[in-house]
Structure 1
Amino acid sequence: KTELIKPRRPWKTLSDVELATAEYVDWYNHRRLHGETGHIPPVEYETNHYRETTKPQVTVTT
């Protein structure tokens, strides 16, 4: 991500860039709070979404 890579250059090694990118992606997908999703991390929002949309249907027989 540009917002990570450009401000912190020059990078010493490619491994440093790869590790920083992996850490950023982990934060972005799992820990950042997102206003459009009720200020919860995206992974939590996605988990809640799938939990709600995959609930078993209740069938009533008479």
Structure 2
Amino acid sequence: MDMRWRKSSYSEQSGNCLEIAVVDGQVLVRESDDPGVVVRTTRAKLAAFLAGAKAGEFDDLL
């Protein structure tokens, strides 16, 4: 299976970042420093999460 992992241009060069890939319609998320742990989700769930993040719902975590 050919997966193309992508990360944000805002990620740190040290590898401290989240990466995403899309396989068979599912979105996969992993941490670059622990690539063996992968979370699978749907595009709809990721879209809902990103909308909340853009609206500032998670700013208290930073």
TM-score (norm 2): 0.30
> What is the TM-score of this pair, normalised by structure 1?
0.30
Find the structure with the greater CA-based Rg: 1
Select the structure that is richer in strand.
2
